[in-house]
Amino acid sequence: MNPFTFTQAGDIDAALARLAIPGARPIAGGTNLLDLMKEGVMQPDELVDINGLGLDSVEEAPGGGLRLGALARNADTAYHPLVRARYPLLSAAILAGASPQLRNMASNGGNLMQRTRCYYFYDLGTPCNKREPGSGCSARNGLNRLHAILGASEHCIATHPSDMCVALRALDAVVHVRSQGGVREIPFADFHRLPGEQPELDNTLAPGELITHITLPEAERYVKHSAYIKVRERLSYAFALVSVAAALELDGGKDGKVATIRSARIALGGVAHKPWRVEEAERALEGKTAGLEAFGAAADILLHGAQGHGQNDFKLTLARNAIEQALATAARGTEAAKGIAKDTPQGDAQ
Ligand SMILES: Cc1cc2nc3c(=O)[nH]c(=O)nc-3n(C[C@H](O)[C@H](O)[C@H](O)COP(=O)(O)OP(=O)(O)OC[C@H]3O[C@@H](n4cnc5c(N)ncnc54)[C@H](O)[C@@H]3O)c2cc1C
Ligand code: SF4
């Protein structure tokens, strides 16, 4: 590991002053940054410990919705009564990620900023445009089982590994950031980037900007019918091959009658450089009977233009099946979806 300076910031202004210096980076739970530093992939000159900034609450947002502090731990967020009651989709997505120990350390801000799990990105002995711009992409013709089928570029086919971010995208979250220049709000759709010609940039955060909190608009209409489906190689410590956050607002469906979809939200993880959402697919579900025909049509729109790179060709079928399964599970009800989650070893003891 390279030498670096470690500073504990006592308040936000002190943190922002340190972060304005090129080469300085914030550290929260350290569950991703420290690994990257040990591998020599990231070499900050200064680590600014932001854990003392008091950004760790989960509370009502002014004007409705919820405000998630950047330093609130993933576990505290997932189990917060307001999150469980009003955003069960977010709770399920967070609990599908990592392990209980990691979720106790991992912060919300750090989860948004975590870097790709492409094997070559962590291997200094191989070319990687994300780690070293212009060096090439080893994954295109290499091991690419985990990699993108949507939105990739010739320069990078990496995926964003977060589960939490897939639900945040479906729920129209907003990321609030602060720098010495002031405050800024970034709609979640614009926070993560596609690789394009600059795969080294994962997101639209500017140097010196610190995430202070994330807000969620009110989403009561999706409480009863939501599901997070994560398909992975094994049931713990595995990142998503494909994941789906789905939420439906249904009319009818009681006493054996068929339900009609009033509105829908759906986002995919594990398939692109950012959580993948195509709002046209949601509009296509509106007014349709909640059934396989409509779900398949939505999958067609979401996966339009999808392309494998050899080892990950299977994701084309996997993603389609996962989309249909997530929408069908959401239609059965959030409680039924929770039953599925409890069957996995990821469920924390509470
Ligand atoms: C074995 C393992 C398995 C995992 N499995 C999953 C999984 O299945 N699903 C999943 O979603 N995640 C998974 N993770 C990733 C884990 O969720 C992230 O490592 C974690 O969320 C990062 O949060 P942190 O607070 O530890 O971030 P840190 O490691 O402290 O920081 C990560 C990055 O975020 C930046 N940063 C942190 N806070 C801020 C802020 N407020 N503003 C601006 N920048 C900031 C840091 O500078 C750094 O670049 C796994 C991790 C491990 C080690
Ligand atoms: S996919 Fe992206 S992160 Fe992976 S080797 Fe290629 S450039 Fe690097």
Per-residue pLDDT tens, the chain, 350 aa: give them.
789 999 999 999 999 999 999 999 999 999 999 999 999 999 999 999 999 999 999 999 988 999 999 999 999 999 999 999 999 999 999 999 999 999 999 999 999 999 999 999 999 999 999 999 999 999 999 999 999 999 999 999 999 999 999 999 999 999 999 999 999 999 999 999 999 999 999 999 999 999 999 999 999 999 999 999 999 998 778 999 999 999 999 998 877 778 999 999 999 999 999 999 999 999 999 999 999 999 999 999 999 999 999 999 999 999 999 999 999 999 999 987 775 554 443 333 32
Is the minimum distance from the CB of 26 to ligand 1 under 6 angstroms? yes
pLDDT for 348 equals 37
Question: Among the atoms of ligand 1, which is closest to the Cα of residue 177?
Answer: 42
pLDDT for 340 equals 59
Ligand 2: which residues within 6 Å by Cβ? 116, 118, 120-121, 128-130, 137-139, 156-158, 199
Mutating to test ligand 1, I would choose from 32, 49, 234, 274 the residue with most ligand atoms within 8 A of its C-beta, which is 32
Beta bridge partners of 48: 7, 26
Distance (Å, rounded) from C-alpha 243 to C-alpha 229?
Answer: 5
| C-alpha 111 to ligand 1 mean position (Å) | 4
Ligand nearest to the CA of 141: 2
Report the predicted TM-score, pTM, of the whole model to 2 decimal places.
Answer: 0.96
C-alpha distances in angstroms, 92 versus 74, 96, 291, 333? 11, 6, 23, 13
| C-alpha 31 to ligand 1 mean position (Å) | 6
The pairing of beta strand 210-216 with beta strand 5-8: unpaired
| C-alpha 192 to ligand 2 mean position (Å) | 16
pLDDT for 257 equals 79
pLDDT for 235 equals 79
pLDDT for 339 equals 57
